[in-house]
Amino acid sequence: MFNFIRNKKDNEINVNISNKNVVRVILIILISYVILLALRKSFYPIKLIIISIFLTLAINNPVHRLSNLMPGRLKGNRVFGTVTSLIIVLALLSIFIASIVPPLIKQTSNFINVAPGLVQDLHNQNSSIGRVINHYHLVGTVDNISSHLGSRINSFSGKSFSTITDVTSSIFAVVSVLVLTFMMLIEGPKWLKFAHNLLDERRQRIAARISNEMYDVIKGYVNGQVLMAAIAAVIIVIPLFILNVSYPIALMVIVFICALIPLVGHTLGAVIITTVALFNSPLIALIVLAYYILYMQIEAYVIQPKIQSSKTNLTPLMVFASLLIGLSLDGLIGGLMAIPIAGCLKVLIEEYLRTHGYASQVKSVETKD
């Protein structure tokens, strides 16, 4: 590529670069720029594909078992098992939407209707809260809040179009993930078999070992999160029924979904549950919040170590560091996928160390973990 010519008289080195090499470097830079630009533009669909891959790996085992439970000629039919699983997922999603959307609309409508009355009570000196506001000279603050609330309500219609657009985009993302997952469940085994046949015998064994370990990591993580989310939903819904909090079934589903998100999921769930309980009374909201915090401590120190032990084979430091990186890169979605990605990277690093003569070091690290 480069021609070095040493000039013995002047002790200089001349570098000759041909036009062909200059053109080659320019083409490499341009192609790299186009690839990076394409990746940046296609980041959203790539994220949907990655989510679909993890969802496929998570429900692959239930689909396989369901297909084997089919009667007669349908036994072992992966397509029919996948379709049945997709119908179950859509049914559960429809039940969730039907249980959460009407109460949300009703609560919002009730709040908008009672908002003027609340503002009047705040200014009424005969009411108990009005006397407190006058005593502590909070009239100006209440006026500011009232004007801000009024402007928000008036601008609600102007923001409705953007809200509908966001909802439509979310529905499109969910449908895209479900379709991609359906296709991957059906075609995935064929593609894996095709890729497996491209390798020689030695590499086939290595690829099989790596893929099996990665699959165990993802399956163990997902199964552990789903089990903990189910336990949380069942336990948290108990005081909601006892204290007569509105829409306990819908809140139970919300707790289940929030509990699937590591690190911040329960915090989000506690905020939502406490806010809904606040419509009953501040005392009930305080009781629900204290109960939720108590359960979070029990899960962190008792339930989670028992369920997630040896599921992903990651140390607490690796788990926490991967969660921080995932949350900073892509928010809740990044945090949700951070632990299984870290587990898969650990599998790749360990395999690299094994193939390069560091098997004893890998074994000692696994023993310490």
pLDDT band at 290 (very low <50, low <70, confident <90, very high): very high
| DSSP-based three-state secondary structure for 6 | strand
- pLDDT value, residue 73: 78
- Average pLDDT of 178-202? 84
- pLDDT value, residue 161: 47
174 versus 148: which is more confidently predicted? 174
Kindly report whether the global pTM for this prediction surpasses the value 0.85: no
| DSSP-based three-state secondary structure for 127 | coil
What are the residues facing 2 on neighbouring strands? 17
Residue among 324, 213, 344, 215 at smallest CA distance from 262:
324
Element (H, E) at 16: strand 12-17
Q: Please say whether the beta carbons of 253 and 100 come within 8 A.
A: yes
Helix 43-68 crosses helix 201-242 at what angle (to 10 degrees)? Answer: 90
Q: Where are the domains of the chain?
A: 2-41, 46-198
37 versus 332: which is more confidently predicted? 37
pLDDT band at 216 (very low <50, low <70, confident <90, very high): confident
What are the residues facing 66 on neighbouring strands? none
- The Cα 213–Cα 190 span in angstroms is 20
117-166 pLDDT per residue, tens = 656 665 666 665 566 666 666 666 666 666 665 565 555 445 444 545 55
235-265 pLDDT per residue, tens = 999 999 999 988 888 788 888 888 877 667 7
Cβ atoms within 10 Å of 82's Cβ, excluding its own = 23
Q: For all residues of the chain together, what is the average pLDDT?
A: 76
